[in-house]
Structure 1
Amino acid sequence: MARPEQSVEGRGIGEVLQFLQAEFADVTISKIRFLEAEGLVAPARTASGYRKFSAADVERLRYVLTAQRDQYLPLKVIKEHLAAMDRGLRPSAGGPPVAPSSLPEPPGLPVAEDFGAYGTELRLTREELRAAADIPAELLDQVENHGLVVARGNHYDGDALLVATLAGEFARYGIEPRHLRPFRTAADREAGLIEQVTGPRRTEKTEELAALAVRLHAALVRSRLPR
């Protein structure tokens, strides 16, 4: 008996070609296969070996074709850009990819949806973190020494970038990283309390409780400031 076909969601190469030709008239199936062979896109395969391109795959192809057509970039450079974008960086004109130049400010008090905005999608080297936060190396050393920023394996995520950036803002008021240790201690206790309720896995309930904790913390700080 024949084995049932493995279900893999996505567009076939013919559909992708038809979609791309609306914007890139000279693209061909051979061109798409070549870009795959060069490692610029890696579509999933069905059990029979048919390619299935996700929406992200199609966007990568659009990026490659646009960079070739509008900027005349060689594939080697485009591949480096894609690798950087996979770490959450953005390409910069005439230079290496960089981290976002500014962090979005959540409107008002944070809500559950704000959590994850600076999460693990971004993967920075230490120097990329320092440059993106726009702080001197000495300050970053202090931030790390006091446990405010911790590397995740060999990289730093978006939360680390936000903390380093805010540490730089505090430094402009003469508040050094050592003065910020109570914030880290409070965060550790709040995270521990939430984990007791939700368990070690991060879930929607974790996000909701984290948002409540931040709102409570902000309200308590404000309530203790002079009127």
Structure 2
Amino acid sequence: MPYGLRSIGQVLSVLKADFPDVSISKIRFLESEGLIAPERAPSGYRRYAESDIARLRYILTVQKSHYLPLKVIREHLEAMDRGEDPPRLEPVTGAAAAIEVPLPNAAGAVPQQRGAKRPIRVTRRELLELSGLSEASLAELERHALVSPRRGTVYYGRDALTVAVAARKLAAYGMDARHLRVVKQAAEREVGLIEQAIAPHLRRSQSPQQLAQEVMQLVMHAHAAIMRSTMPQ
């Protein structure tokens, strides 16, 4: 193999330290989408230059940290190919940020979160790639109504991605869609409780949605605290 070029297996070894979920199928998927174009040897084997690896690092980073759909990543790469700087992206802590709950202050009020999180709009194929779920696992989550596209569309949002990522990680502990169904049922009961609690205040509120969000965050905070205090020490 020419000096400076690597095989796909060697590229995988280089990337694994920073991106543990990367796989050969993932790299080939990105190639099939036209995001990378490694050199091909006469034998047909892919040969990756350092520029290909840098390109892969960029793709995997913005997927991991910002959940950008492939269409947007492609636009970034095209800008970079023209010699332009890619758009500046605000830091995102990952899927867990979608369920992060701010703590109430001394007066019991929940502080407003800094800036709205960027909406996520991904296809089913992108959801599978970003979450690392198998098609069968995603189908099972959908069968239990734990994950679904946004109403009236074929695209999935941030909550669907959060559940998908959590489901993949929980599978390592023997928890599957049936167990998460119990979590969904508990959440539905809590939503009913919140709706009942805020109903008398809706007419007086200038922002019913903000009122519902504040009460929901308080309930989520209490829920997390109760779970922590209930867990064996």
TM-score normalised according to structure 1 size: 0.50
User: Is the partner of 2:73 in helix, strand or coil?
Assistant: strand
Q: Secondary structure at the match of 1:193?
A: helix
Other-structure match for 1:161: 161
What value does the CA root-mean-square deviation take over the aligned residues? 3.5
Question: Which letter does structure 2 place at the counterpart of 1:217?
Answer: H
Q: Does the 8 Å CA contact 2:101/2:221 hold for their aligned counterparts?
A: yes
Q: Partner residue of 2:94?
A: 103
Equivalent positions of 1:5-16 (< 5 A) are: none
Instruction: Using the aligned pairs only, state the percent identity.
Output: 34
Q: Structure 1 residues 167, 209: closer, same or farther in 2, change over 3 A?
A: same
CA separation in 2, counterparts of 1:218 and 1:142?
26
Output one character per residue of 1:52-109: Cα deviation in whole Å (capped at 9) or x when no partner: xxxxxxxxxxxxxxxxxxxxxxxxxxxxxxxxxxx963415669xxxx9972544x96
Native 8 Å contact 2:140 2:177 kept in 1: yes
In structure 2, do the counterparts of structure 1 residues 178 and 104 end up closer, same or farther at CA, with 3 Å as the change threshold?
closer
| 1:123-138 equivalences in 2 (<5 Å) | 123-138=121-136
- Residues 40-119 of structure 1: pairs in structure 2 closer than 5 A: 89=69, 90-92=72-74, 103=94, 105-106=96-97, 110-111=101-102, 113=112
Gaps of 5+ in 1: 1-86
1:32 is aligned to none
Pair member with larger Rg? 1
What is the letter of the counterpart of residue 190 of structure 1?
A: E
1:150 maps to 148
**Residues 109 and 215 of structure 1 are in contact (CA less than 8 Å); yes or no, is this contact kept in structure 2?**
no
- Whole-Å separation in 2 of the counterparts to 1:184 and 1:116: 27
Q: Deviations for 1:102-131, whole angstroms, at most 9, x for unmatched residues? A: 72544x961254599668x21221111111
Q: Equivalent residue of 1:91, what SS?
A: helix
Are 1:115 and 1:211, in contact at CA under 8 Å, matched by a contact in 2?
Answer: no
Structure 1 residues 133, 109: CA separation in 2 closer, same or farther (over 3 Å shift)? closer
Aligned length: 136
The Cα of 1:179 is off from its aligned counterpart by 1.2
- Is the CA contact (8 Å cut-off) linking 1:118 and 1:158 kept in structure 2? no
Could you tell me which residue of structure 2 aligns to residue 17 of structure 1?
A: none
Pair 91,169 (structure 1): closer, same or farther in 2 beyond 3 Å: same
What is the CA–CA distance in structure 1 between the aligned matches of 2:115 and 2:131, rounded to whole Å?
18
Other-structure match for 1:205: 211
Are 2:191 and 1:191 equivalent residues in the alignment? yes
Q: TM-score, normalised by structure 2?
A: 0.49
Q: CA 1:104 to 1:136, structure 2 compared with 1: closer, same or farther past 3 Å? A: closer
Q: Is this contact kept in 2: 1:124–1:157, CA < 8 A? A: yes
Query: CA contact under 8 A between 2:95 and 2:165: conserved in structure 1?
Result: no
Change (3 A) 1:202 1:128: farther
Cα distance change of structure 1 residues 115 and 148 upon mapping to structure 2, 3 Å threshold: farther
- Are the equivalent residues in 1 in contact too, given 2:127–2:161 (CA < 8 A)? yes
SS at match of 2:173: coil
Q: What CA distance in whole angstroms lies between the structure 1 residues aligned with 2:231 and 2:101? A: 20
Report the equivalent of 1:75.
none
On the 8 A contact 1:129/1:161 being kept in 2, the answer is yes
